[in-house]
Amino acid sequence: MLRCKLIFVIYLLFLTFSGNLYSQIEDAESTYKSTNLGGPRIGLTYILGEGEAYQTLKSNEMDRLISQFGWHFEYQVAPTTVAGPSFVVQFVPLIGGVEYGKFIPSITLAFGIRFLSGIEFGMGPNLVATEAGVATSLVLVGGKSFDYGGVSIPLNLAYVINPRGHRISFIFGYALN
C-alpha cells in the first residue's frame, strides 16, 4: 500500500511541474547549428586474448598490434538556444595492417554525444573485411577533443566487441572547425 501511495505522489508531482516545463520549452524557439568536423585519423589497434581474431593474424604472420590510417567524417548538431552537448554522427573508414604488407579495411558508424568540455562517448556498428568475409562488431568509443587555435584534436579510445575476439584502438587526428 505504501508503494502505491508513493507512486501516486510522484505522479501528482510530475503533473504539477510538467506543465511549467512544457510551457518553457514551448516558448523557446529551437534553432540548431551543424558543423562538419572531418579530417585524417591515424592510430593503433590491439587484439585482446587468444581468440580466433588473434589466431588468424598469427597464421598470416601478423602480430596483435596493427596500424590504422583513414579519414573521419563527422556531422555534429547542437542547439543554439541553450549551452549543452552536441549530438554527433561519425563515419570512419580505416585501412589497417600496412606494416605487414596487408590491406585490412574497416568502417565504423558511431552515434554519440560531445559535451562542452570536449568529452565524448558513443557507440555503433563496425565492419571489418576478413579472409572469411565481413565480420560485424559493436564499437564503444570515448574520448576528448582539444581545441588548438580553431583546430579540433580528438583523442579517442574504442573498444570493439566481437565473438571472434575483442579489440581496443587508440585513434587520433585533427579537424578544422
Q: pLDDT tens per residue, the chain (177 residues)? A: 555 555 655 655 555 555 544 444 454 566 777 777 789 999 999 999 998 889 988 998 999 999 999 999 998 888 877 788 999 999 999 999 999 999 999 999 999 999 989 999 999 999 999 877 899 999 999 999 998 888 989 999 999 999 989 999 999 999 876
CATH of domain 32-176: 2.40.160.20
Domain ranges of the chain: 1-29, 32-176
What is the value of pTM for the model shown?
Answer: 0.77
Q: Give CA separation, 5 vs 13, 16, 83, 90, 150, in Å.
A: 12, 16, 38, 46, 55
Residue 66: Cβ-neighbour burial (10 angstroms; 0-12, 13-18, 19+): buried
